Amino acid sequence: MKRLQIWDLYSLFVIALIKIVSGFPSPLPKNLTVKGIALASYHFSRKKRRNIEKNLSQAFDGKLAEHQRREIVKGAFYEFWRETFSRRPTRQERAVLKSVEIKGVEHLHRALKNGRGVILWESNALGRRNLTK
């Protein structure tokens, strides 16, 4: 039998936290939690933060000011945690998602019905990925 590792406890804690804050009717507790965890991650993940900063400096040939680089890195931490917590929407977020109209679905259904394949291109470059989830 495999022994419980610290990573397992960390993952369990994150999953439990996501479930708890997503259970509130308002997205405010979840948003505040994400901001807090992102800020803590930024400060405590020194090695990861420095690697991202180094890569940014290389990508921009050292032309980014320190405050610009810091804001980009903080934003990366925030977006990671926002995306992680978005996997379980709150009641209010689910209601909004149900009201969204997806255009072009009929075309995909027709193609499948006629024996043609379809390609679904999902990219986070187009915004948050709630609809595809």
Give the angle subtended at the CA of 42 by the CAs of 122 and 57, to the nearest 5°. Answer: 75
Separation CA 76–CA 68 (nearest Å): 12
Confidence bin at 7 (pLDDT 50/70/90)? confident
Give residue 47's pLDDT: 95
Range 21-40 average pLDDT: 93
The owner of tokens 């709150």 is: 90
Res 126: pLDDT = 55
Which backbone phi and psi does 47 adopt, to 5 degrees? -65, -45
Check residue 104 and give left, alpha or beta (phi > 0: left; psi -120 to 50: alpha). Answer: left
- The answer to whether the pTM exceeds 0.75 is no
Calculate what percentage of the chain has a pLDDT beyond 90: 49
Provide the pLDDT for residue 94.
84
- R_g (Cα) of the chain, nearest Å: 20
